[in-house]
């Protein structure tokens, strides 16, 4: 039995429309129709730019202790104040954006791509491979993201690279499961059968013919994963299991400060908290809007 997935056909039509309209026009349309999503995108872009250009934006070295400026309230020199070591909070936030983006995009990107390939492969091969692979995903998905990340960090240790690995692992099954569902429909379309009949190899069929057709749900997932990964990194660092001092990271900046300096120097906890909230909110708003824009069922609502 051959089933043609309506979503795939409509998505193809969307892509054709997008090509016809041009990326600039499509982006402008997106901005006009999705103001909240645009706000989310803007926040993400600002944070991304802050991370990339941190060396030029930050007025101070984020790791430089200055004992003459400990716990100073925001003023013209230190616009967001200083922390308990006299380090400029604005500079640490800007460099913290680099850590957040590195972990957020790194974990979401790597986890998403691995999940994409494995999910599509699982749908394509089916049979025992699919059965065993899905049960492995069941086991991994039984753990909440942060719990699994905690377990991984406790095995591999702390540090930026290990945090990316720790967050990537729980993201793989989440992506793999969703992508497999879409890929099951794509597997049955005639051009996949045609590719098989022409004698193309499995790798070519999976990567060239199936993966591009599940990109839409993948992109939506990816935008959600970025926010989740940033939040997970902040949580791990807050628990003392993520990035370690003196590396600037938002969760690490919150660690201890909220409790110890909540009344005497509240800016130490407020600004990194705000940065986390804004970025996760931005990723979430953008992800929702992207889903609405790409999913034909939701597009006209």
Partner 1 sequence: MAVRLGLWAAGLGLVAAVAALPAEAQTPKRGGILTYVIPADAPPSFDAHRETTYATIHAAAPYYSVLIRVPPDNPASTTEFVCDLCTEMPTPTDSGKTYTFKIREGVKFHDGSKLTAQDVATSWNYIVFPPKGVTSARVSYYEMVDKVEAPDDTTVVFRLKRATTAFLPALADPYTWIYKKEILEKDPHWYEKNVMGSGPFKMVAYEVGQSIKGERNKDYYHEGQPYLDGIIGIFADKQSVRVDALRADRAAIEFRGLPPSARDQLVKEGGKDIVVQDSDWNCGNILTPNHKKKPFDDVRVRRALALAIDQWKGAPALAKIANVRTVGGIVFPGSPLAATKAELEQMAGFWPDIEKSRAEAKRLLKEAGAEGLKFELLNRNVDQPYKFVGTWVIGEWKKIGLNVEQKVVPTGPWFSNMRAGTFDVAMEANCQSVVNPVLDTGKYLPYKVYPENYGGYDDPKSVELYDKMQTETDPKKQREDMRAYEKHTMDTMVHEIVLLYWYRIVLARSYVKGWKISPSHYLNQDLANIWLDKSP
With beta carbons less than 8 A apart as the criterion, state whether 146 and 161 touch: no
Sites for partner 1 among residues 272-291 (CB under 8 A): none
Instruction: Map residues 229-258 to x or -, x wherever contact with partner 1 holds by CB under 8 A.
Output: -----------x---xxxx--------x--
Q: Rounded CA gap, 261 and 84, in Å?
A: 9
Sites for partner 1 among residues 138-157 (CB under 8 A): 157
Instruction: Map residues 155-194 to x or -, x wherever contact with partner 1 holds by CB under 8 A.
Output: --xxx-----------------------------------
The nearer residue to partner 1, 259 or 300, going by C-beta atoms, is 259
Window of 81-89, 165-173, 201-209, 286-294 that interacts with partner 1 by CB under 8 A? 81-89
Distances from the Cα of 274 to the Cα of 87, 254, 294, angstroms: 18, 11, 30
The nearer residue to partner 1, 64 or 193, going by C-beta atoms, is 64
Shortest spacing between CB 48 and partner 1, in angstroms: 25
Length of the chain measured in residues = 301
Sites for partner 1 among residues 7-66 (CB under 8 A): 63-65
Non-local CB neighbours of 85 within 8 Å, separated by 6+ positions:
65, 66, 67, 70, 246
With beta carbons less than 8 A apart as the criterion, state whether 234 and 167 touch: no
**3-state DSSP call for residue 82?**
strand
**3-state DSSP call for residue 265?**
coil
Q: Is 266 in the site for partner 1 (CB under 8 A)?
A: no
Which region, left, alpha or beta, applies to residue 71 given φ > 0 means left and ψ of -120 to 50 means alpha?
left
Q: Can you give the binding site for partner 1, defined by CB under 8 A?
A: 63-65, 67, 70, 72, 84-86, 157-159, 240, 244-247, 256, 259-261, 263-264
């Amino acid at each position: 039995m051959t089933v043609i997935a309506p979503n795939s056909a409509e998505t193809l039509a969307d892509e054709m429309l997008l090509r016809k309209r041009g990326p600039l026009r499509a982006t402008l349309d997106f901005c006009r129709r999705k103001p909240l999503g645009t706000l989310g995108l803007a926040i993400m872009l600002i944070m991304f730019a802050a991370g990339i250009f941190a060396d030029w934006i930050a007025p101070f070295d984020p790791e430089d202790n200055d004992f003459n400026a400990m716990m100073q309230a925001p003023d013209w020199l230190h616009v967001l104040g200083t922390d308990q070591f006299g380090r400029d909070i604005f500079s640490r936030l800007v460099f913290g954006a680099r850590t957040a983006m590195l972990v957020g995009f790194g974990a979401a990107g790597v986890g998403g791509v691995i999940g994409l390939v494995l999910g599509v492969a699982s749908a394509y091969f089916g049979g025992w491979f699919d059965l065993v692979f899905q049960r492995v995903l069941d086991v991994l998905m039984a753990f909440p993201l942060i719990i699994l990340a905690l377990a991984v960090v406790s095995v591999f240790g702390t540090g930026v690279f290990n945090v990316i690995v720790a967050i990537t692992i729980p993201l793989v099954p989440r992506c793999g499961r969703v992508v497999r569902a879409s890929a099951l429909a794509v597997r049955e379309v005639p051009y996949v059968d045609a590719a098989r009949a022409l004698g193309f190899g499995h790798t070519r069929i999976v990567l060239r013919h199936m993966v591009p057709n599940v990109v839409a749900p993948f992109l939506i997932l990816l935008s959600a994963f970025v926010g989740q990964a940033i939040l997970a990194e902040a949580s791990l660092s807050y628990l003392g299991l993520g990035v370690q001092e003196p590396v600037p990271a938002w969760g690490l900046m919150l660690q201890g400060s909220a409790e110890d300096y909540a009344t005497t120097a509240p800016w130490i906890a407020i600004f990194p908290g705000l940065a986390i909230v804004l970025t996760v909110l931005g990723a979430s708003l953008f992800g929702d809007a992207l889903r609405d824009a790409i999913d034909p069922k939701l597009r006209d609502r």
